[in-house]
Structure 1
Amino acid sequence: MAPVRASAWHLLAATLVVAGVLSTHVSTQAPSSVHDSARFAPLADITRQNVTTLVPAWTFHSGDFAGGQGPEPKGAVPGLQSRPVYSRGTLYVTTPSSIVIALDAETGKERWRHDPQQGATKRCHQPHRGVALWPVDHEQASSRTVLSGTCDGRLIALDADTGRPRKGFGANGAIDLRPGADVQPGDDFAVTSAPAIFKDLVITGALVPEGKPRGPAGDVRAFDVRTGREAWRFHTVPRPGEHGHETWPRDGWQRRTGANVWSSMTVDHERGLVFLPIGSPSYDFYGGDRKGRNLFGNSLVALDAATGTRRWHQQLVHHDVWDYDPPSQPILADIPRNGRTVPVVIQLTKMGLVFVFERATGLPVFGIEERRVPVSEVPGEETSPTQPIPIAPAPLARTTPVTRDQLTSVTPQSRAECEALFARVTAGGLYTPPGLSPTLLFPGTMGGATWSGGAVDPVSSYLVVNTNEIGAIAQMVPAPAGAPLPWVRGGALGAYGRFWDSQQLPCQAPPWGKLNAIDLSTGKIAWQVPLGNVPVLEAQGITGTGSLNLGGPMVTAGGLVFIGGAIDSRLRAFDIRTGQEVWRAQLPASGHGAPVSYRGPKTGKQYVVIAAGGGGKFSKAISDAFVAFALP
């Protein structure tokens, strides 16, 4: 379909989606549940022609810390990463303290809140990315339940109308997930992403330790949504007799931590499949005690959602020593391919590689090659001599070594600092293993793509993804006496050194952050544009550099892409056809989650809402605000 016709076709798309004709995975309420992984809002009130008239409609402060916004205070909770969920005039949001809040979607006024840590003497905090609603067709349901994880390792069920715990679910509306995961005192174990819903099952993973090889299991579990009883469990590190166990050394699988789903899963309700983006086994940067390919680490796994039985899998990284776990929720889309419509599942990666598979079979749509890569020089380590690379699309992030003439010249100070840093490292590219001397790796651990994922426009078949361009500096050093492994990541440049100057400006030439569109019908890149500005440079009149970013995009039937992830604390709108920026608005802090859009039941207006939390990896400004925009 020619991009020039996108405007008219997007208006038609909005009509067809609401009528239930187009793209069966798209919800009619934009997006009503986390199962709508495509992040397409079938609303076209806001268009390229009128988007410049958008105004703030309301702002809600969660109260997670005193003051509401400002520079990141000492001990501040992590920035918001919540993606709100809309249902029947109510917006459900979460905070880093695992608090669940229901808001009037048109006014932002609080209807209820549930604090799962009420009365706790010591409160925990973790990035929290949202809730799920049961049943999936909750717009018509007489009774609805909010399912959410907590930073202390519980899964809670709340009445969606009142916020009261569902007493029949576990113990007073909560399941303690820790005993079933072999969590020991001092182990990290949290549920930070929204669970998945399939029929009467709630399916969840967990956040587990990455800094040691042994610890809590990363297993994925399903529970009866009414009673909380466990229905099935999938061992992400296969036990003896299970498929994939042969990819581990004899004892290497035992109490292996990592290999978990810390991001969100995606359900294909028509096919009865749940897709698991399984992370890297621990320890992240040394695998001498886990020689082999280490299934199901770094894999996209399709399970029978009713039973937990494996249908298919594709490993995206063999024997990971880079912390290249899949960072985001798998995306479902129906794409035109060779005269037929192909239901696909898409997995974005920190490497900037985009994997596209047929949903039913796991076959690669554009092909995958096993390509030779450098091997490790670290004693005892045996990295894989090959890695799977998609033939298409092309990588969305740098995968080749930086050369001296490619260093930044954005300011004389930055150039001087970066030349000095570059002289201390050995430049490497994709899958260069961490070495015994400081090694510059591209992409780094922050991507490529990040946790907020991408969005798919069903009209143009464009996949829109934001990416980072920031290298990591890795060096393996002997571990302290008594450590569980002989080698750890460290060195004079730090355990998580990044290739940037003293102002956190990346050392290679811009752009440092991009918004990308891929035509899924061909696998070719349709456009790429810089995303965001850097405040310290913008103050000097230097723009167009792109910035490091975390929050993901949303696409609407009005032909627009909304995203607020850049560090300059702005929500932006782009033309889906060309990537041209057509609108921006200031936020209290950067939006580290993806926006949502819905129609208010009383006003009839289309709203765009984003969690503007900032803080964390790249941005010092922090807020506890949710901000809504609408046409006047």
Structure 2
Amino acid sequence: MKSSIPSWKTLAGFFFALISVCSCDTSDDSTFDRKAHIKQIQANPDFQSWAHYLGDPERTHFSLLSQIDTSNVKQLVPAWSYVSGEVSEDRTTQIQTNPLIVGNTLYGISPANDLFALNAGSGELMWEFSPPGTDQTGLGLSRGMVYWTDDKGGQARIFYASGYQLYAIDALSGKRISAFGKKGFVDLREGLGRDPEKVPIVMTTPGVIYKNLLITGHRTSESPGAAPGHIRAYDVISGDLIWIFHTIPQPGEYGYETWPEKAYTTTGGANNWAGMALDE
């Protein structure tokens, strides 16, 4: 484990993410049935852990955990700290990732887009995955990742992107799952009707899981010839593309007639780069 003294900028992302666990909506709405809402929350296991980006599939930023409250929060003291060792000379590096905590493991992403797993109790580094290439920093900061496990608990995967590469990583070992996509990753530039080598695609915000599907958006430019921002769903086991929703409609699709003819072949953007929520 790296042990240099952390800068506050490097750790700011973690502190902000962890503090957000304690936040909730305190607004007063006389039409809101609070008792019914509380019962619904208490029955949902998603609110008793932090295994999803921003807390749960609906991205509510809320947790039922009550050990820390307004009466004792002032007594908190640092238990441990972790340093990725990637602080730049101009000290502009940062961690924007909202970490996941599954069981006793904390998953995070460094400024260089390295995925790591820590013992949540001690801060000890359990494993680290570095995507190919010596420097991934310029490929866009990553805000989070997706944790998935099968119904029997026999498989556990972390899905995260570095630039245009969407990886499937074994949650226990940190090894790339080679059977997913092409040697462990999906090239997000492919399947968008553009030359993959000529379109800038990055995925800075994680997608959502629905059953056996990983549903994702991405960030792209909005200049002429840019890639469209279609929403895609991939099989969580194989990485195969299952379906695609064209945000810029194609012939025969709803809304096509509202665009200039063949606009889908040249117009880009209309993308989901800020993330999405899942309402089941």
Measured against the shorter chain, the TM-score band is 0.7 to 0.9
**1:332 maps to which residue?**
none
Q: 2:225 and 2:220 mapped to 1: Cα distance?
A: 10
Q: Alignment partner of 1:52: what SS? A: helix
Q: Are the equivalent residues in 1 in contact too, given 2:113–2:137 (CA < 8 A)? A: no
Q: Alignment partner of 1:57: what SS? A: coil
* Matching residue's letter, 2:173: T
Task: Describe the superposition over 1:31-50 as per-residue Cα deviations: whole angstroms up to 9, x where unpaired.
Answer: 22122511111111112111
> How far is the alpha carbon of 1:207 from its aligned partner?
1.0
Structure 2: gaps of 5 or more residues: 1-25, 27-34
Q: 2:136 and 2:168 mapped to 1: Cα distance?
A: 22
Q: Are the equivalent residues in 1 in contact too, given 2:42–2:64 (CA < 8 A)? A: no
**1:205 maps to which residue?**
217
Q: Are the equivalent residues in 1 in contact too, given 2:49–2:102 (CA < 8 A)? A: no
Identify if the C-alpha distance between structure 1 residues 247 and 193 changes in structure 2 by more than 3 Å, giving closer, same or farther.
same
Larger relative contact order (Cα-Cα within 8 Å, sequence gap ≥ 6):
1
Selected match of 1:93 from 92, 97, 108: 108
Q: 1:176 and 1:167 mapped to 2: Cα distance?
A: 14
**1:236 maps to which residue?**
247
* Matching residue's letter, 1:205: G
Q: 2:189 and 2:156 mapped to 1: Cα distance?
A: 26
Task: Describe the superposition over 1:569-624 as per-residue Cα deviations: whole angstroms up to 9, x where unpaired.
Answer: xxxxxxxxxxxxxxxxxxxxxxxxxxxxxxxxxxxxxxxxxxxxxxxxxxxxxxxx
* Matching residue's letter, 1:206: H
> How far is the alpha carbon of 1:218 from its aligned partner?
1.0
2:232 is the alignment partner of 1:221: yes
Selected match of 1:84 from 99, 109, 121: 99
Q: Which runs of 4+ in 1 moved over 6 A?
A: none
**1:47 maps to which residue?**
69
Q: Are the equivalent residues in 2 in contact too, given 1:104–1:111 (CA < 8 A)? A: yes
Q: 1:203 and 1:49 mapped to 2: Cα distance?
A: 40
2:41 is the alignment partner of 1:22: yes
* Matching residue's letter, 2:85: G
Q: Alignment partner of 2:191: what SS? A: helix
> How far is the alpha carbon of 1:109 from its aligned partner?
1.6
> How far is the alpha carbon of 1:243 from its aligned partner?
0.8
**Where do residues 13-162 of structure 1 align in structure 2 (5 Å cutoff)?**
22=41, 27-34=46-53, 35-66=57-88, 72-73=90-91, 76-77=92-93, 79-117=94-132, 119-120=133-134, 124-135=138-149, 141-151=153-163, 153-162=164-173
Q: How many residues get paired? A: 245
Task: Describe the superposition over 1:124-173 as per-residue Cα deviations: whole angstroms up to 9, x where unpaired.
Answer: 33121111011387xx723200011111x011001100000112111221
Q: Alignment partner of 1:27: what SS? A: helix
Q: 2:43 and 2:166 mapped to 1: Cα distance?
A: 29
Q: Alignment partner of 1:124: what SS? A: helix
Identify if the C-alpha distance between structure 1 residues 81 and 123 changes in structure 2 by more than 3 Å, giving closer, same or farther.
closer
Task: Describe the superposition over 1:442-500 as per-residue Cα deviations: whole angstroms up to 9, x where unpaired.
Answer: xxxxxxxxxxxxxxxxxxxxxxxxxxxxxxxxxxxxxxxxxxxxxxxxxxxxxxxxxxx
Identify if the C-alpha distance between structure 1 residues 121 and 106 changes in structure 2 by more than 3 Å, giving closer, same or farther.
closer
**2:199 maps to which residue?**
187
Task: Describe the superposition over 1:13-71 as per-residue Cα deviations: whole angstroms up to 9, x where unpaired.
Answer: 9xx97xx853655614332212251111111111211111111122111122357xxxx
**1:543 maps to which residue?**
none
* Matching residue's letter, 1:59: S
TM-score, length of structure 2 as denominator length:
0.78
**Where do residues 515-534 of structure 1 align in structure 2 (5 Å cutoff)?**
none
Selected match of 2:270 from 250, 255, 259: 259
Q: 2:44 and 2:123 mapped to 1: Cα distance?
A: 28
Q: 1:178 and 1:21 mapped to 2: Cα distance?
A: 40
More helix by share: 2
Q: Are the equivalent residues in 2 in contact too, given 1:26–1:40 (CA < 8 A)? A: no
Q: 1:80 and 1:91 mapped to 2: Cα distance?
A: 14
> How far is the alpha carbon of 1:258 from its aligned partner?
0.8
Q: Are the equivalent residues in 1 in contact too, given 2:235–2:242 (CA < 8 A)? A: yes
Q: Are the equivalent residues in 2 in contact too, given 1:135–1:200 (CA < 8 A)? A: no
More strand by share: 1
* Matching residue's letter, 1:225: V
Q: Are the equivalent residues in 2 in contact too, given 1:149–1:195 (CA < 8 A)? A: no
Q: 1:260 and 1:172 mapped to 2: Cα distance?
A: 27
Q: 1:136 and 1:191 mapped to 2: Cα distance?
A: 24
Q: 2:135 and 2:144 mapped to 1: Cα distance?
A: 25
Task: Describe the superposition over 1:532-576 as per-residue Cα deviations: whole angstroms up to 9, x where unpaired.
Answer: xxxxxxxxxxxxxxxxxxxxxxxxxxxxxxxxxxxxxxxxxxxxx
Q: Are the equivalent residues in 2 in contact too, given 1:166–1:172 (CA < 8 A)? A: yes
> How far is the alpha carbon of 1:120 from its aligned partner?
4.4
Q: Are the equivalent residues in 2 in contact too, given 1:220–1:261 (CA < 8 A)? A: yes
Task: Describe the superposition over 1:61-116 as per-residue Cα deviations: whole angstroms up to 9, x where unpaired.
Answer: 1122357xxxx44xx54x22100011111011112322111111112221101011
Structure showing greater radius of gyration is: 1
> How far is the alpha carbon of 1:123 from its aligned partner?
6.2
Q: Are the equivalent residues in 2 in contact too, given 1:90–1:103 (CA < 8 A)? A: yes
Q: 2:150 and 2:237 mapped to 1: Cα distance?
A: 14
TM-score, length of structure 1 as denominator length:
0.36
